[in-house]
């Protein structure tokens, strides 16, 4: 059942279900925890405790006024969430820029990360920022006009349109503009050596038709850095929506191999 957990300067909306070894599913931009709606149930059925939060300032999670909601802050909040839930170790599964938070969590506390899976994520300073520049430059006084534009650009499926609906209206548009403006690729630009040294078992999953983060320039270098297999999936950038069955199968295979 959805619940909320209070952390410093924020309240995190969370779905916490199942029993067993904990896995945390982290969404990216401009998503919410609903990204994982079709992936979480098979992981739960496989015997895992599945934690699916909205990042602070995204979806139903709330940030205090003026608080920066970039990925470094998200990483700190996610560890605070784990502490509040009494969870010591977790497997991190993250999509898009949510993988920046997962990578920062890994380098800050590698002994607490059982495994790391990146889906269509970021590598070093490559965050596909050009794709969201129009949102960063959006006039806040016109925030209510953002959702219809975003829905036309990305909402090619009912699932995607429903996911984006969290940013409908003026307040939703303002949240999305704030989140976009707080994204900062420099936060992961120089963590490669620490990621490699963490020794955390990893996997990299990527959509064959990802139009935002290319396989050759982002996915392959990231997999090489992590010493991880690169698994190509039959989808675009939003693989948990495009091919959830294949994503869940790849995740279950990875999780089964963890020590």
Residue 179 included in any domain: no
DSSP per position, 176-213:
HHHHHHT--GGGTTT-HHHHHHH---EEEEEETT-SSS
Residue 82 included in any domain: yes
The pLDDT of residue 73? 97
Predicted confidence (pLDDT) per residue in 197-226, tens digit:
999 999 999 999 999 999 999 999 999 999
Please, which pLDDT band fits residue 65 given cuts at 50, 70 and 90? Answer: confident
Residue 50 included in any domain: yes
Residue 165 included in any domain: no
Q: Select the more confidently predicted residue: 190 or 155.
A: 190
Residue 244 included in any domain: yes
Residue 154 included in any domain: no
Residue 198 included in any domain: yes
Predicted confidence (pLDDT) per residue in 76-125, tens digit:
999 999 999 999 999 999 999 999 999 999 999 999 999 999 999 999 99
Over residues 13-27, the mean pLDDT reads 97
User: How far is Cα 211 from Cα 124, in angstroms, rounded to an integer?
Assistant: 18
pLDDT > 90 in the chain, percent: 95
Residue 234 included in any domain: yes
Q: Are 239 and 205 in contact (CB under 8 A)?
A: yes
| Tally of structural domains, the chain | 1
Give the CATH number of the domain where residue 109 resides.
Answer: 3.40.50.1820
Q: Which domain holds residue 197?
A: 2-127+185-257
Place of tokens 């939003």: 238
């Amino acid at each position: 059942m959805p619940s909320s957990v209070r952390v410093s300067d924020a309240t995190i909306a969370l779905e916490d279900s199942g029993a067993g070894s904990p896995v945390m599913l982290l969404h990216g931009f401009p998503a919410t925890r609903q990204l994982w709606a079709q992936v979480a149930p098979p992981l739960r059925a496989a015997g895992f405790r599945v934690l699916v939060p909205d990042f602070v300032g995204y979806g139903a999670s709330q940030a205090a006024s003026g608080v920066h909601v970039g990925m470094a802050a998200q990483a700190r909040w996610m560890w605070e969430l784990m502490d509040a839930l009494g969870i010591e170790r977790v497997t991190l599964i993250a999509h898009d820029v949510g993988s920046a938070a997962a990578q920062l969590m890994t380098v800050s506390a590698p002994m607490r990360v059982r495994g790391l899976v990146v889906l269509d994520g970021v590598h070093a300073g490559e965050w596909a920022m050009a794709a969201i520049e129009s949102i960063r430059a959006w006039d806040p006084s016109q925030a209510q006009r953002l959702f219809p534009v975003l829905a036309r650009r990305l909402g090619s499926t009912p699932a995607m349109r429903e996911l984006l609906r969290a940013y409908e209206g003026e307040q939703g548009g303002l949240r999305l503009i704030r989140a976009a403006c707080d994204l900062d690729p420099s936060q992961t630009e120089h963590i490669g050596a620490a990621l490699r040294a963490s020794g955390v078992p990893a996997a990299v999953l990527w959509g064959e038709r990802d139009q935002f983060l290319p396989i050759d320039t982002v996915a392959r270098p990231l997999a090489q850095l992590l010493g991880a297999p690169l698994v190509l999936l039959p989808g675009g950038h939003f693989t948990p929506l495009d091919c959830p069955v294949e994503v869940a199968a790849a995740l279950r295979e990875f999780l089964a191999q963890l020590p």
